[in-house]
Amino acid sequence: MHAIILVGGRGTRLQPLTDTRPKPMLPILGRPFLEHQLEHLKRHGVTAVTFACGFLPSQIVSHFGEGESVGLKLTYVIEPQPLDTAGAIAFAARTLEPQRLLVCNGDVLTDMDITHLIAEHERLGAAATIALTPVEDPTRYGLVRTGERDAVLTFLEKPTLEEAGDDRYINAGTYVLEPEVIAMVPHGVRCNIEREVFPALVGKRLHAIGFDGYWNDIGTPGSYLQANIDLLDGADSWVDESARVHANATIGSGAVVGPGVVVGDGAIIERSVLLEHVVVGRGAYIADSIVGERAVVSDGQRIEHGDVVAPGSAPEPV
């Protein structure tokens, strides 16, 4: 199975963390998010991936190369200008032989059963199949309503609670597409798959399958922080082996301390992510926050309540 991963977005909701790297390269427990995603796809039979790139593509290319380190065949296409979701998918797909494709957003951490999604797509004879995930508050998203044989009946964008009723399933950002869907997308112009292509397919072999497992769009500071905490998988904290933590510092529950970080005497870190080469001064307190790479936290400074510290420069070694 060949997959296309959309990694072209600017990641504006995660700025300033994404000023210096593409969102999918932000680390989860010290490894780029994309490494976790590629491992998941490989477990479900994906053998080749094309990255649909836009912002800072060289970082993705230089890290993964042709895919030897992850055991997948990797290729890359770079949009000449932003083409939106359907435009980017079609631009990448047209570099390949016509075939069934799995498409994934490059910012969704999930344990979704992709094998089942593909099998249902084939069983239903679908042109396109959308994976769905339940959310507690559907008013922030677009609901997908289905009928007999999981056929999509309608899309309901950002409904009120009264409009949503008991429905809670939204587009999970993973699709299986046949070549006929790619052929619907105009060449070289912006086109959105959620608002333009899928609505045009209602009643024309468009299906959607619900999944109840883990799903997290890492595109906001809160969800990115939560993804790191969730992947601790029962561990209290995670500290990279190259980090230097003073004996009198406290690495509390939910702390993720990245490579090259220095944590000073009496500092306390809890429920926070410290990216590469952060320096934390004596007696500093960091909670429920994210500190960008090479930022310096002063002695006694408090960073809490969802703060995001911009990437900065570390002091010169003494």
| CATH code, 247 | 2.160.10.10
One-letter identity of residue 246:
H
Is residue 286 assigned to a domain? Answer: yes
Residue 49: C-alpha distances to residues 7, 35, 55, 207 (Å): 12, 12, 18, 24
Asked if residue 64 and residue 96 are part of one domain, the reply reads yes
Is residue 314 assigned to a domain? Answer: no
Asked if residue 277 and residue 150 are part of one domain, the reply reads no
Q: Hey, what are 295's tokens?
A: 């930022």
Q: Spell 278-300 as b/e; 16+ CB within 10 A means b.
A: bbbbebbbbbbbbbbbbbbbeee
Domain that holds residue 242: 232-309
pLDDT in tens, 155-204: 988 788 887 888 889 999 999 999 999 999 999 899 999 999 999 999 99
Asked if residue 267 and residue 199 are part of one domain, the reply reads no
Asked if residue 294 and residue 154 are part of one domain, the reply reads no
CA distance 202 to 244: 56
Is residue 139 assigned to a domain? Answer: yes
Asked if residue 275 and residue 189 are part of one domain, the reply reads no
Domain final residue, candidates 221, 252, 270: 221
CA distance 209 to 211: 7
Asked if residue 149 and residue 75 are part of one domain, the reply reads yes
CATH of the domain at 98: 3.90.550.10
Asked if residue 246 and residue 105 are part of one domain, the reply reads no
> Residue 178: CB partners within 8 Å, gap ≥ 6?
100, 126, 127, 128
Asked if residue 119 and residue 206 are part of one domain, the reply reads yes
Is residue 56 assigned to a domain? Answer: yes
Asked if residue 236 and residue 101 are part of one domain, the reply reads no
Q: Residue 81 burial (CB < 10 Å; 0-12/13-18/19+)?
A: exposed
Is residue 317 assigned to a domain? Answer: no
Is residue 297 assigned to a domain? Answer: yes
Asked if residue 258 and residue 169 are part of one domain, the reply reads no
Q: Hey, what are 115's tokens?
A: 């094998």
In total, how many domains does the chain have? 2
pLDDT score for 318: 41
pLDDT score for 58: 95
CA distance 253 to 288: 11
pLDDT score for 233: 87
Asked if residue 238 and residue 96 are part of one domain, the reply reads no
pLDDT tens digit at each of 318 positions of the chain: 999 999 998 889 999 999 999 999 999 999 999 999 999 999 999 999 999 999 999 999 999 999 999 999 999 999 999 999 999 999 999 999 999 999 999 999 999 999 999 999 999 999 999 999 998 888 878 889 999 999 999 998 878 888 788 888 999 999 999 999 999 999 989 999 999 999 999 999 999 999 999 999 999 999 999 999 999 988 999 999 999 999 999 999 999 999 999 999 999 999 999 999 999 999 999 999 999 999 999 999 999 999 999 998 554 444
pLDDT score for 142: 81
Is residue 227 assigned to a domain? Answer: no
Asked if residue 243 and residue 99 are part of one domain, the reply reads no
Domain final residue, candidates 221, 245, 277: 221
